Amino acid sequence: MRHGFRNSCAGHRSGDRIPPELVREATAATGGYPFLIQLIGYFLWREAEKNNGHLSPAAVGRAVTARIRRNEGVIIGAALAADSAKDREFLHAVSIDDGPSTAADIIHRTGSRLALIAKYRNRFLDAGLIESSGHGKVDYALPGLREYLRKNPDS
């Protein structure tokens, strides 16, 4: 397909267009992260090649699922490869919340003291796994990490 993803998938061959809801679904699955934009684009391109330039809801769903698997295997797997059990305890304590977690919540969930939580917080900030979300709050910086930890509570 030398015509470019936009041309082939936008239906220039058949007169069809990608429904806006599919564009929104694919866009939302990227979270605005450049690597995930590339992954979704790559998997959408592959789906379009298999379907003569057409993208169906099922094809977008397959691309999103493939993006999740690849992100978990390549990015998240590598980021967590050397983590200890205590590291994971901290990260799992953050995954309970749908948004930022407070230091008090993490202390309560782990039973650790503030000094230890601060140590892990600083280490994960430096590693790029979490980010500060206001005074005394942290959230994941790595897209998909919360969902991965929720799906894999024993990891």
Give the range of the structural domain holding residue 110, as residue numbers without chain letter. Answer: 83-146
Confidence (pLDDT) at 67: 93
Length of the chain: 155
DSSP 29: T
Check whether 11 has a pLDDT greater than 50.
no
Q: Which of 40, 62, 79 is the last residue of a domain?
A: 79
Cα–Cα distance between 63 and 105 in angstroms, integer?
36
**9 and 74 belong to one structural domain:** yes
Number of domains within the chain: 2
The pLDDT confidence band at residue 88, using thresholds 50, 70 and 90, is: very high
Alpha-carbon Rg for the chain, nearest whole angstrom, is 19
Find the CATH number of the domain harbouring 96: 1.10.10.10
Q: Say yes or no: 137 and 104 in one domain.
A: yes
Condensed to tens digits (0 to 9), the pLDDT of residues 91-140 reads: 999 999 999 999 999 999 999 999 999 999 999 999 999 999 999 999 99
Regarding whether 69 and 128 lie in a shared domain, the answer is: no
Q: What is the pTM of this model?
A: 0.76
